[in-house]
Amino acid sequence: MNNNNSSSPRRRSELLMPAGSLEKLKIAILYGADAVYMGTPDMSLRTKSSFTLEDVVEGVQFAHAHGKRVYLTLNLFTHNKDILKLPEYVETVRKVKPDGLIIADPGVFQFVREHAPDLEIHISTQANICSWLSVNFWKQAGASLCVLGREVTYAELKEIREKCPDIKLEAFVHGAMCMTYSGRCLLSNFMSERGANQGNCANSCRWKYKLHVRMKDGTVKDLEITEENQNMFEFFLEEGYRPGQYMQLEEDERGAYILNSRDLCLMPKLDDYLSIGIDSLKVEGRNKSAYYVAVVARAYRMAIDSYYKAPEKWDPKPYMDELETVPNRGYTLAFHEGRLTDLSHGYENTESLSTYEYGGIVAEVRDDAFIVKVKNRIEAGDVLEFLPPSAEETVLLRLYAFENAESGEITESVNAAPETMIRIPFTLFDHENIGDLKRNFPPMSIIRKEKLLSQEQRQRIKIDKTVQNLELGQGRESALEDNRKKLQEIAASNCECKSFKSPRFGIEGCCGKGCNGCLVFWHAPEYAKAREILKKKKQGEMLSKDMVEILEDAKRA
């Protein structure tokens, strides 16, 4: 737990979630967002936005009906051609009645102030606000809120809060990181003619790059690392202001990822932000999945509520465990403590990984069953984990067969497709109250499942966790090097086999979680003692490893 002032902050922080579509907006609100932000592709920095004007109107109405807030983005940097669109857009926005309009361009700011003085204006992170002087400038100009740059350290943030008590402050706490200053990147423009600052970034910093050498005669050749010479070379980068701090550059047959930042996650330090009363805690990810939106919103909602309930007892661990179930590139505290270290970048790979994946979404709740839209392949023996929007305890269900909701056909596996719907009868839930199921899992509730991973992917997740601990001052540097060497060994073995962490079928063994529908756990006599122990635990809370091993030994005997 962090050392901070545990007294109640002067203001309560809101959880601000991204809404890349109307469905994601509704899911964000269902899973605990206090506010959402969204934009149309023509006048914001999000050309991939799927919102139409009709969607925006419906989204605002939905949020307001649930007592939540909506902020619209108008954070483009105007070219002359864009100015002609402003009058119509601003007039339309006034009719929609958002709770805030996010702006970056000073010219657009002035235009809105003159033509729509009734609209509350928020200054976008693209304005690069990193000091209390800049915050005061925008306050005096008429802004209601400033979104601070990701480069602002916690010490700076605390000072800004103290010097600027009369304006709302917003800070990023979770999501992808750009390797340039507040997204001011020209790499995407240079590499693919796609404007990073017009919402069309190609993510060139995440691409793989290979190392070449230029010979004295002008020819360019690959520097091929072979078994014979691999021990002769090691490559490092040294940044000018960090003399003696060498950042190792490692390249395998896939290339290297020297510009690839890990994802921002300030959950371990969230109590710092809550203790000083940062008005809005912002999560990035309008292009992420509905699964990402639900899990991240749920984790931060529980964390925030837990802090306000008992600040002195607040512990980030259970909420970090939740966040590790969504795809990520490894988490970093980024600029929280000050200057970045090489731990903030992931040099091994750019792939987002997690041990879980999107299983499905509840499309309909009938009198006798859930109708579920399938989002990833599900096979006999998979455990589906139902995530309640307004409760902490999840519900686990192991399935052995799947009933097509339309035809009634029974299969042992089902693939994701837009039209794929399965019926999950309430009778399959051994230990749940049907009334509670209907109440706790309304339509749009999210379901996850364990993900099939290779040894290499699991080792990468282990490295990410080690790096995270090192940033928090835990663990050993040597452990990171050991894990990286292990990753190299696994990659060199060319083993492409994938596996699940938990047993696939109840008849093969038991993970000790007490899932609904687990044939062997709930019915086999050798698990009688385990059943009694599990009754005292929360659903999904595993038995100890020793207990599971004792039970398995008894079963084999």
The pLDDT score that the predictor gives to residue 88 is: 86
The pLDDT score that the predictor gives to residue 419 is: 82
H or E element in which residue 95 lies: helix 86-96
The pLDDT score that the predictor gives to residue 9 is: 47
- The sign of the CA dihedral 160, 161, 163, 164 is positive
1 has a pLDDT exceeding 50: no
Instruction: Provide the phi-psi class of 414: left if phi over 0, else alpha when psi is between -120 and 50, else beta.
Output: beta
State pLDDT tens for residues 380-406: 889 999 999 999 999 999 999 999 999
Helices (H), 164-231: 187-192
Compute the distance between CA of residue 464 and CA of residue 480 in angstroms, rounded to an integer: 9
Which single residue is written with the structure tokens 């661990």?
A: 317
* CA distances, 300 to each of 14, 135, 173, 495 (Å): 10, 26, 10, 37
8 has a pLDDT exceeding 50: no
Helices (H), 178-316: 187-192, 270-275, 290-309
Confidence of residue 85 (pLDDT cuts 50, 70, 90): confident
Which single residue is written with the structure tokens 């914001």?
A: 44
Confidence of residue 257 (pLDDT cuts 50, 70, 90): low
The pLDDT score that the predictor gives to residue 531 is: 77
The pLDDT score that the predictor gives to residue 101 is: 96
Confidence of residue 417 (pLDDT cuts 50, 70, 90): confident
Compute the distance between CA of residue 186 and CA of residue 205 in angstroms, rounded to an integer: 11
State pLDDT tens for residues 43-77: 554 445 567 778 888 999 999 999 999 999 988 88
Compute the residue count for the chain.
557
557 has a pLDDT exceeding 60: no
482 has a pLDDT exceeding 50: yes
Q: What are phi and psi of 161, to 5 degrees?
A: -60, -40
Q: Is 345 exposed, middle or buried (0-12, 13-18, 19+ CB in 10 A)?
A: buried
Compute the distance between CA of residue 27 and CA of residue 289 in angstroms, rounded to an integer: 11
The pLDDT score that the predictor gives to residue 225 is: 58
State pLDDT tens for residues 135-177: 999 999 999 999 999 999 999 999 999 999 999 999 999 998 7
The pLDDT score that the predictor gives to residue 545 is: 54
According to the CATH classification, is domain 14-180+262-329 in 3.20.20.60?
A: yes
State pLDDT tens for residues 187-227: 555 455 555 555 566 565 555 555 555 566 666 566 665 66
Arithmetic mean of pLDDT over the chain: 84
Instruction: Provide the phi-psi class of 37: left if phi over 0, else alpha when psi is between -120 and 50, else beta.
Output: beta
The pLDDT score that the predictor gives to residue 333 is: 94
State pLDDT tens for residues 351-369: 889 999 999 999 999 999 9
State pLDDT tens for residues 220-248: 566 665 666 656 666 665 656 656 665 55
